């Protein structure tokens, strides 16, 4: 299966206050985010994480990354520079990528992935989709685009099936 998510902010105590997250401590938030991730994502699933994994350095990144199921590709956000500046033993992409998925239609489905929301994107007038994070649910919906950040989805990743259902 394919999954999308963003904005975990592991080990970031202030995000609880900034985003009104329902956790009493950073440890509770971290543990619950890992639990919910692994509840739905299986080891062979593919996960596109659209940025702001953690504000801290590479040690914190690995502490949480190693606990998570799935084959994870990081599309970096604004806070990820602290751990992506050196050599990292995971897949970190460019900050803007397009993926093409075979959904049985005549042409592949194009999904543009970026930490930041866009109003227009590659092939946006031809049915492509855009998934993003960063806004923590504070932007109005825009046609064919969706905030996949954890604050919008009860702190769970979002499946491709859910994305297609919501954006149909």
Residue 37 CB neighbour total at 10 angstroms: 24
- Residue-wise pLDDT for 39-91, tens only, equals 999 999 999 999 999 988 888 999 999 999 999 999 999 888 777 766 666 78
- Alpha-carbon gap, residue 90 to 54, rounded angstroms: 14
Q: Using CB atoms within 10 Å of the CB of residue 168, give its burial: 0 to 12 exposed, 13 to 18 middle, 19+ buried.
A: exposed
Please state the pTM of the whole predicted model.
0.94
Answer whether CATH 3.60.21.10 is correct for domain 2-166: yes
DSSP strand E in 102-140: where? 109-114, 129-132
Residues 6+ apart with CB under 8 A from 77: 6, 7, 50, 51, 52, 53, 95, 115, 116, 133, 134
Domain range annotation of the chain: 2-166
Residues 6+ apart with CB under 8 A from 124: 112, 130, 144
Tens digits of residue pLDDT in 93-148: 899 999 999 888 888 999 999 999 999 999 999 999 999 999 999 999 899 999 99
Q: How far is residue 98's CA from residue 110's CA, in Å, rounded to a whole number?
A: 7
């Amino acid at each position: 299966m394919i999954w999308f998510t963003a904005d975990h902010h592991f080990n970031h105590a202030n995000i609880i206050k900034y985003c009104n997250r329902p956790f009493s401590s950073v440890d509770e938030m971290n543990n619950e985010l890992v639990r919910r991730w692994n509840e739905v994502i299986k080891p062979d699933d593919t996960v596109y994480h659209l940025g702001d994994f953690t504000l801290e350095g590479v040690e914190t990144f690995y502490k949480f990354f190693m606990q998570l199921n799935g084959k994870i590709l990081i599309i970096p956000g604004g806070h990820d520079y602290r751990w992506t500046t050196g050599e990292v033993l995971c897949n970190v992409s460019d900050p803007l990528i397009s993926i093409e998925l075979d959904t049985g239609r005549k042409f592949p489905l194009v999904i543009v992935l970026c930490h930041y929301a866009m109003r227009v994107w590659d092939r946006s007038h031809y049915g492509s989709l855009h998934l993003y994070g960063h806004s923590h649910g504070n932007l109005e919906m825009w046609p064919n685009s969706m905030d996949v950040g954890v604050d919008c989805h009860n702190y769970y990743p979002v499946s491709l099936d859910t994305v297609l259902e919501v954006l149909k």
